């Protein structure tokens, strides 16, 4: 048994926001600046080609420019598209205020003084300079001297460096990017191009206007640089009270009575081994903060530590597991795994290096990984029976960086795949449709593929960082 360092935290989260019946409202009509007003600065704001354009003017005059909504908002989801010249330092203010006279703000026993004529409040950074810190989606406290709230350790800190590295992967420096901001109660989350970037709790300002910033500059080369915003829309939400959730990797009394067991204890490698040997891999996997993580090795299939499988075999069962994706990731959960069979290539030829044979619940970043466009009719996308059958098109995965829950039910030959509480695929092993799919797949050379009476549970190592937790199983009657 190998032990890893583990930090245990009691998890208390906000329940998912309750959406009001109004749905989405447009904050920008695409024609003029009705509903907006410029508070400070000498940057120019105008409408062009259905976009709000903010244009830098040098010298900047010492004050940042803000185009602000004439209304205040408290609990909302805000979405917009932006296209920024890398020379522009910009951002989106939320829950912000304007000091028409000097203002004093109390925070943790300290007094923060804000001079007259300034905008202050939370700013969601927009930064498309891939040679800089590239902190789009970071949350900065404008004028309140608290600096960045997330990332909170500076450009050269581990969190800041990781923030930069990921953003450089997902930012389109020359094109349009999508920003989503959720502000509900004291919870604020930001998403860049569908990837979670910041997740904080802070209650210094519960309500305020939305603002589009153009930072002041005295650099002559910045003259005329532009930031464009479009599709600016908002959905008002109603916060619910915080809900205490069980610690990850534990069983409730109700689950215990229902026959659930932990497949992973959240701390050790007990109950798992390599698909290639009787030992747990010495590299390629990491246990940290209650997560079982595949480490990154540039996407190669089972070329690092390799797949891991349960020591026990299962036939009739219900399996659940939380998984968290990273941009461009590829992984999977396999059932009925037969580790004694040779791995195969994409053409079905046997190979010495490859993933163990079994029925795979595909885990994939459909938007970024090329495998989503391969196979047949999307049968390599998230939640699909890999290379065989396609998951429902109306599946609802959470954003990249957030937890999803996979559920797999196997009763005899009937199998169901679920994602976040919704069934997305069902099939019958050995049926005519199943055998036809096998014959058309890379598994066509494997006799009786997928019809074995039992097998191991597998977590796949495909060279991409993916995290797992809350891996639970209950054995069902035959």
pLDDT of residue 319: 98
d(CA 469, CA 358): 21
Distance separating alpha carbons of residues 320 and 301, to the nearest angstrom: 24
| 163: phi then psi, degrees, rounded to nearest 5 | -60, -45
Going by C-alpha positions, the residue among 310, 318, 321 that lies closest to residue 271 is 310
What is the per-residue pLDDT for 305? 87
Residues sharing a CB contact under 8 Å with residue 408, sequence separation 6 or more, in sequence order: 318, 319, 320, 333, 335, 361, 415, 416, 417, 418
How many beta carbons lie within 10 A of that of residue 276, not counting itself? 17
Contacts of 322 (CB under 8 A, 6+ apart): 248, 403, 404, 405, 406, 468, 469, 470, 471
Q: How far is the C-alpha of 453 from the C-alpha of 141, rounded, in Å?
A: 59
Give me the residues paired with residue 8 across strands. none
Q: Specify the residue for token string 């500059």.
A: 217
In sequence order, the 6+-apart residues with CB closer than 8 A to the CB of 404 are 322, 323, 324, 325, 397, 398, 419, 420
Q: Omega into 151 within 30° of 0, i.e. cis?
A: yes
> Residue 413 in 3-state DSSP?
coil
Looking at residue 440, the DSSP 8-state letter turns out to be: T
Q: How far apart are CA 227 and CA 214, in angstroms?
A: 8
Phi and psi angles of residue 255, each rounded to the nearest 5 degrees, phi first: -65, -40
One-character DSSP codes across 69-133: ESS-BSSEEEEEEEEE-TT--EEEEEEEEEESS-EEEEETTEEEEE-TTEEEEEEEEE---TTS-
Reference 406, options 472, 311, 315; nearest CA is 472
Looking at residue 43, the DSSP 8-state letter turns out to be -
Region of 328 on the Ramachandran plot (φ > 0 left; ψ -120 to 50 alpha; else beta): left
What span, in angstroms and rounded, lies between the C-alpha atoms of 238 and 29?
25
Distance CA 185, CA 205 (A): 10
Kindly calculate the radius of gyration of the chain based on its CA atoms and give it in whole angstroms. 25
Instruction: Collapse the DSSP code of 286 into the 3-class scheme (helix H, G, I; strand E, B; otherwise coil) and give the result.
Output: strand
Give the Cα separation of 335 and 321 in Å (integer).
Answer: 13
- State the sign of the Cα–Cα–Cα–Cα dihedral 52, 58, 59, 62: positive
Task: Assign 326 to helix, strand or coil.
Answer: coil
pLDDT (0 to 100) of residue 10: 38
DSSP 145-201: T-EEEES-S-TTSHHHHHHHHHHHHH--TTS-EEEEEEEETTEEEEEETTEEEEEEE
pTM equals 0.89
Residue 144 C-alpha from the chain's centroid: 29
Per-residue pLDDT reduced to its tens digit, 113-158 = 999 999 999 999 999 999 999 999 999 999 998 999 999 988 889 9
d(CA 183, CA 93): 12
- How far apart are the C-alpha atoms of 268 and 159, rounded to whole Å? 26
| pLDDT score at 245 | 80
> What is the residue whose two structure tokens read 């047949």?
376
Q: Please, are residues 315 and 457 in contact by the beta-carbon 8 Å criterion?
A: no
Q: Is 6 exposed, middle or buried (0-12, 13-18, 19+ CB in 10 A)?
A: middle
List per-residue pLDDT tens for the chain, 478 residues long.
Answer: 443 333 333 333 433 444 343 589 999 999 999 999 999 999 999 999 999 999 998 876 668 999 999 999 999 999 999 999 999 889 999 999 999 999 999 988 899 999 999 999 999 999 999 999 999 999 999 999 899 999 998 888 999 999 999 999 999 999 999 999 999 999 999 999 999 999 999 999 999 999 999 998 888 888 899 999 999 999 999 887 767 788 999 999 999 999 999 999 999 999 999 999 999 999 999 999 999 999 987 767 777 889 999 999 999 999 999 999 999 999 999 999 999 999 998 888 998 888 999 999 999 999 999 999 999 999 999 999 999 999 999 999 999 999 999 999 999 999 999 999 999 999 999 999 999 999 999 999 999 999 999 999 999 999 899 999 999 999 999 8
Alpha-carbon 16 to chain mean position: 15
Cβ–Cβ < 8 Å for 181, 190: yes
């Amino acid at each position: 048994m190998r032990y890893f360092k583990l930090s245990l935290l009691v998890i208390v989260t906000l329940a998912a926001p309750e959406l009001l019946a109004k749905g989405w409202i447009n904050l920008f009509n695409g024609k003029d600046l009705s509903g907006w007003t410029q508070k400070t600065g000498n940057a120019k704001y105008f409408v062009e080609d259905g976009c709000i354009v903010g244009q830098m003017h040098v010298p900047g005059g010492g004050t940042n420019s803000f185009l602000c909504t004439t209304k205040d908002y408290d609990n909302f989801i805000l979405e917009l598209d932006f296209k920024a010249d890398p020379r522009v330092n910009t951002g989106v203010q939320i829950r912000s205020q304007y000091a028409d006279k000097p203002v004093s703000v109390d925070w943790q026993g300290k007094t923060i003084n804000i001079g007259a004529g300034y905008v202050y409040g939370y700013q969601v950074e927009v930064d498309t300079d891939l040679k800089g810190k590239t902190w789009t989606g970071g949350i900065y406290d404008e004028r309140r001297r608290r600096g960045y709230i997330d990332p909170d350790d500076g450009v050269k800190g581990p969190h800041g460096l990781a923030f930069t590295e990921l953003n450089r992967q997902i930012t389109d420096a020359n094109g349009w990017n999508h920003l989503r901001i959720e502000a509900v109660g004291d919870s604020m989350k930001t998403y860049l191009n569908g990837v979670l970037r910041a997740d904080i709790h802070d209650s210094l300002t519960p309500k305020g206007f939305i603002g589009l910033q153009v930072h002041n500059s005295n650099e002559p080369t910045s003259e005329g640089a532009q930031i464009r915003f479009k599709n600016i829309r908002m959905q008002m939400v109603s916060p619910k009270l915080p809900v205490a959730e069980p610690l990850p990797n534990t069983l409730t009394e109700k689950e215990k009575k229902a026959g659930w067991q932990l497949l992973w204890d959240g701390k050790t490698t007990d109950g798992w081994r390599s698909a290639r040997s009787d030992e747990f891999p010495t590299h390629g996997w990491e246990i940290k903060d209650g997560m079982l993580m595949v480490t990154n090795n540039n996407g190669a299939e089972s070329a690092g530590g390799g797949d891991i499988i349960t020591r026990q075999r299962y036939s009739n069962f219900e399996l659940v597991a939380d998984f968290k994706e990273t941009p461009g990731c590829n992984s999977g959960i396999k059932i009925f795994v037969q580790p004694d069979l040779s791995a195969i290539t994409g053409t079905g030829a046997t190979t010495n290096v490859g993933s163990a044979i079994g029925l795979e619940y595909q885990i994939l970043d459909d938007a970024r990984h090329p495998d989503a466009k391969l196979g047949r009719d999307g049968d390599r996308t998230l939640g699909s029976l890999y290379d065989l059958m396609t998951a429902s098109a109306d599946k609802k995965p959470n954003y990249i960086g957030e937890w999803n829950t996979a559920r797999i039910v196997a009763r005899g030959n009937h199998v169901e795949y679920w994602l976040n509480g919704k069934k997305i695929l069902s099939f019958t092993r050995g049926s005519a449709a199943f055998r036809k799919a096998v014959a058309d797949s890379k598994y066509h050379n494997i006799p009786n593929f997928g019809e074995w009476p039992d097998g191991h549970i597998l977590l796949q190592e495909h060279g991409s960082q993916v995290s797992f937790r809350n891996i639970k199983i209950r054995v069902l009657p035959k």
